[in-house]
Structure 1
Amino acid sequence: MQEESHFLIVGLGLLGGSYAQGLKRKGFHVSALDLNPESIAYALKQGWIDEGAVGFDEALVRQADSVVFGLYPQALLEWIDQYQDSFAPGTRITDVTGVKERIVAQVQGKLRPDVEFIASHPMAGREVSGVQYADCSIFEPANFIITPTSANTPEGIAWVKALAETLNFRHIATLSPAEHDKMVGFLSQLTHVIAVTLMNTSDNTHLVDYTGDSFRDLTRIAKINESLWTELFLMNKANLVREIDEFAAELAHFRSVLENEDTEEMKRLFRQSTQRRKCFDK
């Protein structure tokens, strides 16, 4: 990736702001668009962007050769519909959205042939939103997933890989959009469903004075952006429903083991979970 590249960040939230911060620290020219004037003002004050505009600015779009979309899935699709004529020929674009199969198919299906969309997913985030929480150090322990298709060029794939390397992601992997959505249905979406469901099982707020770290750790991600995650769940419904069913079956099995006081099977499950969890230690 050339240092004279002009980046445009569309959507200065937590991730968009973190991209801007990280790219600016590496010496790149960074512009931004956001619907919130306070987000633009904040990024300018922090020195994370060279210029920005509220809503849409054709000049900023045309000067960019590299574009990162930090938008919700549906907003990304609508932006492409409305404004893709403003891209300069040869522009490469990527995203941060947490579902891929439907997004990639729709964007690549409608995008101009002289603009390339190489989808990617930074597996990083926090339980807060907004550019004021941006911090590019969240990328350092994180995985970065590239989800190319036959519509992508080797040069485009190399560009998004270089972007991840520039931002210091710990590990970079490549999956098809379908493989990505199956993976994320289990690793991310199901875990959010479990945390949300646990917090909604009963009114447990009176237990705050007695809880230990295990409850806080397990329910950390229950503090959730309802608009974003509703879109993500619905766009990956088939995968997530299957994962919920498989989890429910495993939960029913554990209930049976407990009810029947099957100590040997319970210990086997504990040993298996302990061994599998070790693979995820960083």
Structure 2
Amino acid sequence: MKTLFKQMTICGVGLIGGSLAMVAREKKLVGRIVGLGRTQPNLDVATERGMLDAATREPAEAARGADLVVLAVPIRSMPETLAAMLPYLPDNAIVTDVGSVKGWVVSELEPMLRPGMALVAVHPVAGKETTGAAAATRDLFVERRVIVTPSARTTPEALAKVEELWRATGARVERMEPGVHDEILARASHLPQVVASALAAALAEEQVAGRPVVEFGAGGLRDTTRIAASSPEMWRDICLTNREAILAAMRLFGREFAEFERLVEAGDADGLVALFERGRAMRERLR
């Protein structure tokens, strides 16, 4: 495949950033890959796994020569990370991200760009509960959805190159308005995380007759709380930057939960079956 960028600098070489680096190196999509990170041990893992040509904790060093910057840090850290790199970036640099919220990212980052720079906001819907460079895999994005949200500072050339990069990972790329993205993902991604974490937190210290209830959980408890193991820092930022959409999703869930509670209290067998059937029908559509 053709080389799309001379140098890709990945800020945050974790699950997403590291997986992208692995594919880009394997398929020679970029000439050079530089990793910017906060902790040396994670950068060492990324280097040992062959993801990077260079690793640094200094933004200036990471920025020099980068015609593509991938912000793979927690969302609220993105403006600070980009600000530290801006004075050293080429005038035609393309900035992209992998955050789960797009409206906030676009509104915060676009005003920071110098003339000649472009922003292409992206959300690869391919996360796992594991984190860090050790969790990265070459096939993470295969047949997974990658949502691109063009905005005022997205140029046609930048958009084409970033989309080609993601298609090369095996992902299914589609475009969406930032606000529409945030409303959809609040319900399809952010709400499940809140529910899983709330369930895990509710049961964390719960005991019955001196026995910790979580010790008796089997597949159901493990499956429904799996994503509760995800990064608290990442999910804190998602909740704070997509607050209104997430609150609407939580209210939607709250109404259904309240209906379950009402039916159980009333002993309404038919009503319970109907709700369980509706839930099962939705689950069947995910297969």
User: Could you tell me the TM-score, scaled by structure 2's length?
Assistant: 0.90
Partner secondary structure for residue 59 of structure 2: coil
Q: State the AA in 2 paired with 1:232.
A: I
Q: Is the aligned partner of 1:96 residue 2:98? A: yes
Structure 1 position 64 matched with structure 2 position 66: yes
Residue in structure 2 matching 1:237, options 237, 243, 254: 243
Identity of aligned residues (%): 27
User: Residues 21 and 33 of structure 2 are in contact (CA less than 8 Å); yes or no, is this contact kept in structure 1?
Assistant: yes
Q: Is the 8 A contact 2:59 2:84 kept in 1?
A: no
Match of 1:257 in 2: 263
Aligned partners of 1:199 and 1:37: how far apart in 2? 31
Q: Deviations over 1:173-231 (max 9, x none)?
A: 22111111111211121111111111122424823443221111001011132222111
How many angstroms apart in 2 are the aligned matches of 1:253 and 1:39? 46
Cα offset for 1:148? Answer: 1.1
Q: 1:156: which partner in 2?
A: 158
Q: Is the 8 A contact 1:30 1:50 kept in 2?
A: yes
Residue 9 (structure 2) pairs with residue 3 (structure 1): no
**Does the CA-based 8 Å contact 2:106-2:121 persist in structure 1?**
yes
Residue number in structure 2 paired with 1:142: 144
Residues 274 and 4 (structure 1 numbering): CA distance in 2 closer, same or farther, change over 3 Å? closer
Provide, for residues 244-263 of structure 1, a one-character-per-residue CA deviation record: whole Å limited to 9, x for no partner: 11211111112222222333
- Equivalent position of 1:115 in the other structure: 117
The Cα offsets for residues 38-67 of structure 1, whole Å up to 9 and x where unpaired, read as: 233222222211122222244x42322222
- What residue is the counterpart of 1:84 in the other structure? 86
- Matched residue type, 1:87: L
Which stretches of structure 1, 4 residues or more, deviate above 6 A after TM superposition? Answer: none
Amino acid at match of 1:184: L
Q: Is the 8 A contact 2:60 2:85 kept in 1?
A: no
- Given that residues 33 and 57 in structure 1 are in contact (C-alpha distance below 8 angstroms), is that contact kept between their aligned partners in structure 2? no
Cα distance 1:208–1:262, how it changes in 2: closer, same or farther (>3 A)?
A: closer
Amino acid at match of 2:228: A
Cα RMSD (Å): 1.9
Aligned to 1:49: 52
Q: In structure 1, list runs of 5 or more residues that go unmatched.
A: none
Distance 1:62 1:2, change over 3 A: farther
Q: Runs of 5+ in structure 2 lacking a partner?
A: none
> What CA distance in whole angstroms lies between the structure 1 residues aligned with 2:26 and 2:12?
19
CA contact (8 A) 1:10 1:69 kept: yes
Tell me, in whole angstroms, the C-alpha distance in 2 between the residues paired with 1:267 and 1:61: 58
- TM score, norm. by length of structure 1: 0.91
Question: What SS class does the counterpart of residue 172 from structure 1 fall into?
Answer: strand
Counterpart of 2:90 in structure 1: which amino acid? Answer: A
Equivalent position SS for 1:63:
coil
Q: 1:105 aligns with which of 99, 104, 107?
A: 107
Which whole-Å CA distance do the structure 2 matches of 1:16 and 1:212 have between them?
Answer: 33
Contact 2:97 2:121 in 1 (8 A): yes
On the 8 A contact 1:80/1:111 being kept in 2, the answer is no
Distance 1:148 1:85, change over 3 A: same
Matched with 2:226 is 220
